[in-house]
Amino acid sequence: MTTRQLFLGIDCGTQGTKAMVLDAASGEVLGLGTAPHSLISGANGRREQEVGQWCEAFALATRRALLAAGVSGLDVLGIGVSGQQHGLVLLDQQGQVLRPAKLWCDTESTEQNQRLLDYLGGEPGSLERLGVAIAPGYTVSKLLWTREQHPQAFQRIARILLPHDYLNYWLTGRACSEYGDASGTGYFDVRRRQWDLALLRHIDPDGRLEAALPELIEADQAVGTLLPQIARDLGLNPQALVSSGGGDNMLGAIGTGTIEPGTLTMSLGSSGTLYAYAEQPQVSTDAAVATFCSSSGGWLPLICTMNLTNATGALRELFELDLDTFNQRVAEAPIGAQGVCMLPFLNGERVPALPHASGSLLGLTLDNLNQANLCRAVVEGTTFGLRYGLDLLRRNGLQGENIRLIGGGSKSPLWRQMVADIMHTPVVCTEQSEAAALGAAIQAAWCQSRASGRPQSLAQLCQRCVKLDAASATRPIEANVVAYQQAYERYRQHVATLLKSE
């Protein structure tokens, strides 16, 4: 009988924290636990969280996962932390949090982002210098916003951390960052894999920000072991190694096995993401493609749409439909919804690049205005946005033989078929939908194996621990592919009209 090798994967997201216990020897997930977070919201675009909530949720989700797994925390060999990208956590000299963390979905610093973008020479200048086009969600504009809006707190900054960096610091007492999450800050050069110190000096000529940067470590390096008091409080092995961790998309890539060319991962969540692994930093000339570093040693070109299940959910609420009835309505309407096209840009949109757009319904007539067509049009519209992003990735030379599908929307057979047909690519779900937590646990096993002198490759671990759900495998139907292509062309024409008027 193989000895168990237990690892804890944590995913600290916007809505809550998920914890997973993985046996890396068998590749089996033994237990899951969750705990919620609350949001500080303002009409001005403020989206913040108290970081103490993350620590409380970490402890609660971990206890629940260990209980569900029926194992002792003292047997855990390593811990990996995935965190929501782009968030800003500021600490003072004593390691105390200076103010709530500004999150990826915060748009309060839009004006500061525009000024920084102008300083860099617009999107082309930002792409040339950093390899990414900075956007309001990125960390860099949050620093300038803090300087202007909270000057006293700014003067006390001793450490600048991302959400997963902060949790690693809380666990180990060591402040560091890894290349994947760092590449989403907007003050990091993704080609050279180093901080852009001059950009931080532009924000703060005194050098305070430069001095507050965490040390950069490789993805397979451990941050350290748990602080004794933290180990006691969490009921975990004090010798458990904390891995480098990473951003949620980067560790989601590990958790779906997207660690070599040829595979694409698509997440159908509140927003939609699509990414592929690349061995070189092939920076796209299109600002919508973010060529982040991966948390596995390469790069992770990524596109993100702002509207997905939030848009389908809004229509469900409008018509007061439960999920099964909504899916039934979608199935009742033909492909193309009899000419009804919805541009579901309820939050503005990142891909296509229409940040100021609002949603619209087009092609309505007395003959096609019915509930089924409207339900179908919202699902098609959100999926067309991901197809638009896939076209951008393909133009950037990234090909995928299949798409690994995760997120809430992936549970719908109807939506899986739609994705396969619209992308003209086979799709399959992973057995474990919590891909970021799984990726964090796998990365922890990778780091621990190297530190213990018995190194396993990340590919070996993914092969053992990432399992595909054969029952979900869905191939494109050629007749559907042709019909969707016509509807997609209509969508593209409507988008082109909006892009001209932006």
Q: Which residues are annotated as a binding site for substrate?
A: 85-86
Q: Give the tokens for residue 1.
A: 């009988």
Residue 19's φ and ψ, nearest 5 degrees, are -120, 145
Residue 453's φ and ψ, nearest 5 degrees, are 80, 10
Q: Give the tokens for residue 471.
A: 């029952």
Q: How far apart are the first and last CA of the chain?
A: 63
Burial class (CB in 10 A: 0-12, 13-18, 19+), 489: exposed
Is 149 in contact with 102 (CB distance < 8 Å)?
no
Label the pairing between strands 76-83 and 241-243.
Answer: parallel
Distance CA 163, CA 50 (A): 11
The position carrying tokens 């193309």 is: 336
Distance CA 46, CA 60 (A): 27
Question: What single DSSP character describes residue 191?
Answer: T
Question: What single DSSP character describes residue 226?
Answer: P
Label the pairing between strands 215-217 and 246-247.
Answer: unpaired
Distance CA 478, CA 481 (A): 5
Distance CA 162, CA 150 (A): 19
Distance CA 20, CA 37 (A): 17
- Of these residues, 165, 181, 220, 248, which one is catalytic? 248
Active-site residue, 75 included: no
Active site residues: 248
